[in-house]
Structure 1
Amino acid sequence: MKRQFMVLLFSSVAAFVQAAEVNVYSARQEELIKPVLDKFSADTGIKVNLITGKPDELISRMASEGRNSPADVLISTDVGRLYRAQTQGLLQPVQSELLTKAIPAHLRDPQQHWFGLTLRARPVIYVPGKVDPTRINTIEDLTKPEFKGRICIRSSDNIYNQSMLAAMIASVGEAKTLEFAKGLVANFAQPPTGGDRDQIKAAAAGVCDIAIANTYYLAGMFDDAKDAAAAKAVKVLWPNQQDRGAHINISGAGVAKYAPNKAAAQQLIEYMVLPEAQNWYASKNHEYPVLADVAWSPVLQGFGTFKAEQLPLVKLGELNAKALQLMDQAGWK
């Protein structure tokens, strides 16, 4: 498979060798993306000009720049932002045999405006000895009265939580999702505050017994001396393994609507799903590769295998507004 991908990519590079640079707007932190971009430049001779920032700020910048935007590629950490950029007319469709072969259909836009580059899962994280894992078979089980005052999670402003609720709406409907949101809010240990790592650290510190967070945050804590003890104090539980599967999301990319270097932009996105790049994401960033035959990092392997949702991720964008509405009705601050 690797040879097939390399042939497809470098035949494309040969055809568009004139493209000398590509401008990337990335919502990913520089240290989490630059090594792959540097390798792309070394392999293709195409210079990468990188601008990093918060996803909504980058989308607003592209919108204000309009036809004069230098952006060639937008990289985001959640499908919700990619869908937002698409609906604002900031991305263009890409026809790529390599991308459609490499990336499962539910992890990319049906109209090819954006493509998943890595997977991130959002399971239940619990403190052993304080929580009986057999009492949690589904994410909905977190609304049980026995978990009152025991759950930590980020605010409703967080796109990861919005996407989690959007996925639930698509799977079980609005009524059951609202019931879940109300029950979860009733079981909060504290008003939502901080990021995913903060929820995990709160659980380890005894503020709560259960956290909901993306796996790559937990995995990264094992590599951080100041957070490693907290990471070792919790375990991962995969919910909904007997029905729809655990919630997943993506980091992904799309070609900007007015990309001045469209060919180079497409080459870069194609490069990022080659086995070498996918292996780097898996081993260094602790994210799940979109290529099934690329190994997970040892830390991710330690979290165990799991059944993931197979929902077309475009639904997470389509249902984002409804998810926010239900979270507001539930009192999720």
Structure 2
Amino acid sequence: MNYAKLLAAGALSVLAAACSQPDTTAGAGSEQADAPRVVNVYSARHYRSDAAIYAAFTEQTGIEVNLIEASGDQLIERVRADGPRSPADVIITVDAARLHRAEEAGLFAQSDFAGFTPEIADNLIDPDGYWIAIAKRARVLAYSNQRVQPDEVSTYEDLADPRWEGRICVRESGNAYNQSLLASMVARLGEAEAEAWAAGIVANMARPPQGGDITQIIGVAAGDCDIAITNHYYYLLMQNSGEAANRAAAEAVTLFFPNQETSGAHVNISGAGIAVNAPHPEEARALIAFFLSDEAQRMFAEMTNEIPVVEGVEWENERLDAVMPFVADSRNVSELGDHNATAQRIFDRVGWQ
């Protein structure tokens, strides 16, 4: 597939969308029979795979994509503030907790996503049908090849042990991925044990929380810490980086998927839902179905190192192949949103900045 061509087409589509307001008149049922079909996408994702997917979708269906991008919380607030006048057809955000917030704000229409494909696990679909996962990412560990032995690491719970004192690098508590990781601990262990774990992490930090996931991996490689919590695809991104320093940092660490003998590695998602006031619901449904096609799922794997949500999809990405397969937590990801507020309170109580 010519991804470069699709990316160029996607960039033109985004540019066109940025120069105009989303079209709320054209589409299925429009009185303007000769008007192009459109779908207005409000997305918190900023990945090159998505531009290629939108271009491929338009090429195959003739439906034009108007793209509005913002951070997850800004996106939710914008659609909420617009109310019934919102032109949003599809809302896409990263992290199950943000999907939960959008659902709680009444931004999604209920849909029969289970009928889209039989090859997607039930735990990746909202039980009430408000959203569905389109790509997965695992929150894992990266440890020093020189200062940590493989048999020293087994589970997330291990990191709270005092033997890791002064050895852990991790992002701030405001990071959605850390919030969802702790929320998964609340769901699995209960609030008291999850709080004890979080307090243990704080006690074992090598430095105050700072930077992004790549910053944590660089910290391990530089000797600032011995182990870090990170999303898997940042490590793979560093392996393929055009910067020698990033490649060297990735070579200095080992990526490890915890809890393989117990609950499975924690998995978070990007997800999509049809807006409750979507002016083009048929086009919205068509786009989400396309996200779950083999073609789009392959783009996620090959272009952003994300893990497809549809079983049996084949891709060409040796880096991703090297960390697959793994045992993932089978808990419904909607529970991450259910326990997000509790996780935030725990962070505050234990002093996780």
1:17 Cα shift? 9.3
Aligned to 1:250: 269
Matched, 1:312 2:329: no
Matched, 1:176 2:176: no
Contact kept? 1:69, 1:258, Cα under 8 Å: yes
Amino acid of the structure 2 residue aligned with 1:300:
L
SS in 2 for 1:199: helix
SS in 2 for 1:310: coil
1:36 Cα shift? 0.2
Rounded Cα–Cα distance in structure 2 between residues aligned with 1:24 and 1:304: 31
1:42 Cα shift? 0.4
Aligned to 1:33: 50
Which residues in structure 2 correspond to 1:274-293 (within 5 Å)? 274-293=293-312
1:87 Cα shift? 0.4
Contact kept? 1:98, 1:270, Cα under 8 Å: no
Match for 1:165 among 182, 194, 210? 182
Contact kept? 2:113, 2:132, Cα under 8 Å: no
In structure 2, the CA distance between the partners of 1:159 and 1:97, relative to structure 1 (3 Å rule), is closer
CA distances 1:165-223 after superposition (whole Å, capped 9, x unpaired): 11111111111101100001101011111111111111111111111000111111122
Contact kept? 1:70, 1:260, Cα under 8 Å: yes
1:243 Cα shift? 0.9
Matched, 1:139 2:156: yes
Contact kept? 2:171, 2:178, Cα under 8 Å: yes
Match for 1:231 among 235, 239, 250? 250
1:100 Cα shift? 5.1
Contact kept? 2:111, 2:130, Cα under 8 Å: yes
Matched, 1:197 2:214: yes
Rounded Cα–Cα distance in structure 2 between residues aligned with 1:195 and 1:253: 24
Aligned to 2:279: 260
Amino acid of the structure 1 residue aligned with 2:169:
C
SS in 1 for 2:116: helix
Matched, 1:300 2:320: yes
SS in 2 for 1:25: strand
- Corresponding pairs, count: 319
Spell out structure 1 runs of 4+ moving beyond 6 A: none
- How many percent of aligned residue pairs carry the same amino acid? 43
Rounded Cα–Cα distance in structure 1 between residues aligned with 2:86 and 2:320: 38
SS in 1 for 2:66: strand
Amino acid of the structure 1 residue aligned with 2:100:
Y
1:16 Cα shift? 5.5
Which residues in structure 2 correspond to 1:58-73 (within 5 Å)? 58-73=75-90
Contact kept? 1:23, 1:50, Cα under 8 Å: yes
Amino acid of the structure 2 residue aligned with 1:308:
A
Aligned to 1:329: 349
- Give unmatched runs, 5+ long, in structure 1: 1-14
Contact kept? 1:279, 1:294, Cα under 8 Å: yes
Rounded Cα–Cα distance in structure 1 between residues aligned with 2:326 and 2:41: 33
1:102 Cα shift? 3.5
CA distances 1:73-115 after superposition (whole Å, capped 9, x unpaired): 1111111111110000011111245425242110010111100
Rounded Cα–Cα distance in structure 1 between residues aligned with 2:261 and 2:333: 20
Rounded Cα–Cα distance in structure 1 between residues aligned with 2:196 and 2:184: 15
- Give unmatched runs, 5+ long, in structure 2: 1-26, 31-35
Normalising by structure 1, what TM-score?
A: 0.92
Rounded Cα–Cα distance in structure 1 between residues aligned with 2:159 and 2:114: 42
Rounded Cα–Cα distance in structure 1 between residues aligned with 2:348 and 2:279: 41
Contact kept? 2:120, 2:311, Cα under 8 Å: no
Tell me the C-alpha RMSD between the 2 structures: 1.6
Amino acid of the structure 1 residue aligned with 2:197:
F
Normalising by structure 2, what TM-score?
A: 0.87
Rounded Cα–Cα distance in structure 1 between residues aligned with 2:53 and 2:231: 22
Aligned to 1:271: 290
1:304 Cα shift? 4.2
